[in-house]
Amino acid sequence: QVQLVESGGGLVQAGGSLRLSCAASGRTFSRYVMGWFRQAPGKEREFVAAISSSSGTTYYAPSVKGRFTISRDNAKNTVYVQMNILKPEDTAVYYCAARLGVVRTTEAAFGSWGQGTQVTVSS
């Protein structure tokens, strides 16, 4: 298991940008697949992006592809998501998550979760 702490959320105007960070504990961060999910009021938690542990291959939900970029810095035990051209529809609590194994894009596949950080995009 790994403990995760998100930061970087806030209030931005539509078209603006935010970068979220997720700091992980432990010495084996590089072995974890890392993901970002989000949950808006009245909606199920949905996949946003993921990055593999080995190759650094990235995966994105269609709704964010081209606007969001996930990255990781294993030396800092941190995963990021750069969010550009934000839309009101991006408003949600954003969670980072970690799993061991191959990349998956479902909530159930991730065993470690942060507390979440609120992102609000105004129009």
Q: What does the DSSP assignment read for 59-103?
A: EE-TTTBTTEEEEEEGGGTEEEEEE-S--GGG-EEEEEEEEESS-
pLDDT of res. 72: 96
Q: What is the DSSP string of 6-67?
A: EE--EEEETT--EEEEEEE-SS-GGGEEEEEEEE-TTS--EEEEEE-SSS--EEE-TTTBTT
Q: What is the pLDDT of residues 97-106, one digit of tens each?
A: 999 988 899 9
pLDDT of res. 101: 85
What's the token pair of residue 27? 């010495």
Residue 38 has pLDDT above 90, yes or no: yes
**Across all residues in the chain, what is the average pLDDT?**
95
Q: What is the pLDDT of residues 64-107, one digit of tens each?
A: 999 999 999 999 999 999 999 999 999 999 999 999 988 899 99
pLDDT of res. 62: 98
Residue 1 has pLDDT above 80, yes or no: no
Contact present, 96 and 6 (Cβ < 8 Å): yes
Residue 114 has pLDDT above 90, yes or no: yes
Residue 27 has pLDDT above 90, yes or no: no
